[in-house]
Amino acid sequence: MASIIQTNTPSIYNLSYGHNVHSFYDNDTDGYRFVSRVFNSVDDTLKADVRQLPNLAGYAHFDVQNILKTYTKSSPNLEEITKLQSAQNECFQYYINYGAYDGTSIIATGNTTDYVVFNGRKNFDELDWDYTPYVAFGKTSASPVGDALTIDDKMIAMTDRTPNQTLLGSDITDGKPSRLSNSDTCYVYDIWSHQDYTLSYINGVVASPGETLPTFTNGINGFFIAAYDGNTEILNTSIENIISNGGGQDTAPGDEIQPTGGYNGVSIQTGIRNSLLNGQTYTHMYICPWAWLNGYSPTTLGVVELGDWYRFEFNDPSECNDFDPIEVSWLNSFGFRDYFVFQKRKDYSINITRDTYQKVNGTWSEATFGVNQYDRGEAVFSQLLEENYTINTRYLKDDEATFLKNLFISPDVRVRFYGDTDWTPVVLTSNTWNERTFRKDRLFQNTITFKTSNKLNIQRGV
């Protein structure tokens, strides 16, 4: 009689590109074939059925990463959101129904807990992704109100970019929200005033070791957003994480629905496309995720910060000889988007491939024969037109050069040309990234070459 137990599990949040190993053992050592069936946790649909014999030690190790990869992908338009967007493309939640096959049926079955994977990548030797910096750890507390949520460790956003500065609230001398205390951490990023820019988060709060969470806790309930012109406050409000704003899983504030499936992740627009900014530009703005302090309360709206603060400083360069800036967006290591602006020399060319055929000149089907001067002998049947670009960064710092390595290795790159509102998908033709540092190279830039992923349409010849 088989008695199957689970002996190894991945972390509850993981990345799909890399090991996702589940191990099982038969306490009765019957030698049956082990069965591992992957189910979508949201609708209980079967996605894969994998079977194998135990190894010599009696264990069966199932690495389901190739299955998970097929259910996570990049969002096609994350750059263009106006408030929030859940991670319906980037995220997949599953469980495994395990057991043994005795030659006739599956026996000794059981279900694992639920796991969540994002469309990110890990090192080849990394079994479990360290998700702990990217979720908030909290507990139930009687203070400041009964059954309050207290946060022990705050979350950060899923980006590969290193901040330009990391400040304490006490270091900030111009406009800042009153909620940003002197002891709060604030990450500072420079962006352009016309940029699209998103931050992405795990939509979850995890109980601190040995603690429990209040029953109403269900991830990120909203985001603080504040904008300033120097010391003058222009905007100070919140975006609630509900479906009508692009997030969820709550339909209305206070629904207390636990995130499932694609709602385990959420992204926020921090660039000029955010509809709350009304197309205006500011000197700087702030973003911070929050949750209800004591459940939804329409009168007091008590909230607690879930993450560190992010400050975006709108710093357009003043060089008068710059080229039109080109925004570049790419799939980062977490499965979401990172951004950079290329502002130096741009070169543009079109590669043309022509298919031709030879026409017979003359009016052979008419009453009289003649040859017209405009008759074409060789004619173009079809053309393939490929647009190619070469663009350059400004001089880089060492951490920026390392950050841009992720652009070179990304399989999904998009650009927004100056003056355009839409993003254009491209394919990088730069096939080498070289490490460059100030110590080795002094002043240095990065150059990328790419072609648009859609060819130009052109007419046939006569």
My answer on whether 65 and 157 are in the same domain is no
> How confident is the model over 360-415, as pLDDT tens digits?
888 888 898 889 888 888 888 888 899 999 999 999 999 999 999 999 999 999 99
Q: 354 and 449: one domain?
A: yes
Residue 223: pLDDT over 90: yes
* Rounded CA separation 326/343 (Å): 6
Strands 148-153 and 136-141: antiparallel
The torsion angles phi and psi of 68, rounded to 5 degrees, stand at: -65, -35
Average pLDDT over residues 63-72: 97
* Token representation of residue 59: 């264990």
Using CA atoms, how far apart are residues 7 and 15, in angstroms rounded to an integer? 20
Domain around 412:
319-462
d(CA 59, CA 6): 10
Q: Are residues 247 and 149 in the same domain?
A: yes
E strand intervals along 192-264: 198-202, 205-207, 222-229, 232-240
Mean pLDDT across the chain: 93
**Predicted pLDDT at 442:** 87
| Count of other CB atoms within 10 angstroms of residue 96 | 23
Does 8 lie in the same domain as 140?
Answer: no
pLDDT at position 298 over 80: no
Q: Is 43 exposed, middle or buried (0-12, 13-18, 19+ CB in 10 A)?
A: exposed
Let me know: does 272 contact 193? Beta carbons within 8 Å. yes
Cα torsion at 198, 204, 208, 211 (round to 10°)? 160
Residues 195 and 67 both lie in one domain? no
Specify if 126 maps to a domain.
Answer: no
Domain count, the chain: 3
The CATH number for 25's domain is 2.60.40
Residues 342, 449 share a domain: yes
d(CA 328, CA 308): 26
State pLDDT tens for residues 103-156: 899 999 999 999 999 999 999 999 999 999 999 999 999 888 888 999 999 999
Task: Name the pairing type of β-strands 115-121 and 13-17.
Answer: parallel
**Last residue of one domain, picked from the residues 288, 314, 340:** 314
What are the residues whose beta carbons fall under 8 Å from the beta carbon of 139, sequence distance 6 or more?
149, 150, 152, 207, 208, 211, 212, 213
Cβ of 86: how many Cβ atoms within 10 Å? 23
In the prediction, which pLDDT does 281 show?
77
Distance CA 288, CA 229 (A): 19
The residue behind tokens 């901040």 is 163
Structure tokens at 406: 């992720």
Whether residues 187 and 304 share a domain: the answer is: yes
Last residue in a domain, options 99, 121, 143: 121
**127 is a domain residue:** no
Give the model's pLDDT for residue 299. 58
Q: Indicate if the pLDDT at residue 43 is higher than 70.
A: yes
pLDDT tens by residue, 333-350: 999 999 999 999 999 999
Identify the band that residue 423 occupies on the pLDDT scale cut at 50, 70 and 90.
Answer: very high
Residue 201 inside a domain? The answer is: yes
- Could you tell me if residue 36 is inside a domain? yes
How many other C-beta atoms can be found within 10 angstroms of the C-beta atom of residue 201?
26
461 and 357 within one domain? yes
Same domain? For 142 and 95 the reply is no
Q: For 427, left (φ over 0), alpha (ψ -120 to 50), or beta?
A: beta
Are 296 and 401 in a shared domain?
Answer: no
Judged by average pLDDT, the poorest of 205-209, 320-324, 438-442 is 320-324
Strand order across the 326-331 sheet: 337-342, 326-331, 413-416, 424-428, 447-452, 378-392, 346-358
287 and 427 share one domain: no
For 248-283, write each residue's pLDDT tens digit: 999 999 999 999 999 999 999 999 899 998 877 789
- pLDDT level of residue 235 (50, 70, 90 thresholds): very high
pLDDT of residue 316: 85
Q: Which of 254, 279, 314 is the last residue in one of the domains? A: 314
* C-beta separation of 437 from 102 below 8 A: no
- Spatial contact of 138 and 217, defined as CB atoms under 8 Å apart: yes
Kindly state the tokens that stand for 215.
């029953």
Of residues 5, 212, 196, the one with CA closest to residue 82: 196
Query: Is the predicted pLDDT of residue 190 greater than 90, yes or no?
Result: yes
Nearest to 91 by CA among 129, 121, 119: 119
CA dihedral angle for residue 66, residue 71, residue 77, residue 79, rounded to 10 degrees? -60
Q: Mark whether 154 and 301 lie in a shared domain.
A: yes
Whether pTM exceeds 0.85: yes
> Distance (Å, rounded) from C-alpha 9 to C-alpha 387?
47
Task: Give the number of other Cβ atoms within 10 Å of residue 147's Cβ.
Answer: 13
Q: How far apart are CA 238 and CA 344, in angstroms?
A: 37
Beta-carbon count within 10 A of 78 CB: 22
